[in-house]
Amino acid sequence: GSLMCIGSEQHLRFRYGNAYQVDVTMEDMQEEKQNGESMQAIKEWFIKTFKGSIVLEDQSLSAKFRIPKADNLTLGAAFAKIESALISLRITEYSLSEMTLEQIFIHFARQQKEETGSVAGLDVDEKVYRKDDL
């Protein structure tokens, strides 16, 4: 492996935490078709309103989005935009937060390529001896 980042927690979050995460729960419409249409409307709104946003998870009544901090988008501005659409999108609850250090590390781990080949000092054909064999 290789070292991807080093620094204090605050430095790593500032440098690599370039997005907000939003967890959304919508009103249960009691019919699966209506729930699907409502969730689709929520996803389309987030993608249209926050350029470059992506859907991280999508379940029947909840979804997670990653919103980039593009164009100096502040937490307060993102909060205000979501608040203005709560009723029309039938969102019952949501959370908006900066990326956690754990989410940043998970992002790095997903980008990592698996190492293949032999490791120096370890030969897979090498016979393993136990203490009793000697």
Helix/strand/coil percent split, the chain, to 5: 45, 20, 35
What pLDDT, on a 0 to 100 scale, did the predictor assign at position 113? 66
Distance CA 11, CA 133 (A): 53
The total number of residues written for the chain in this structure:
134
124 has a pLDDT exceeding 70:
no
Global pTM?
A: 0.70
- Residue 133: burial class (beta carbons within 10 Å; 0-12, 13-18, 19+): exposed
pLDDT in tens, 57-90: 998 899 999 999 888 899 999 999 999 999 999 9
Instruction: Give the least confident one: 18-22, 67-71, 114-118.
Output: 114-118
Return the percentage of the chain with pLDDT > 90, whole number.
Answer: 48
Segment holding 22, helix H or strand E: strand 19-26
What pLDDT, on a 0 to 100 scale, did the predictor assign at position 132? 63
Instruction: Give the least confident one: 57-61, 63-67, 96-100, 126-130.
Output: 126-130
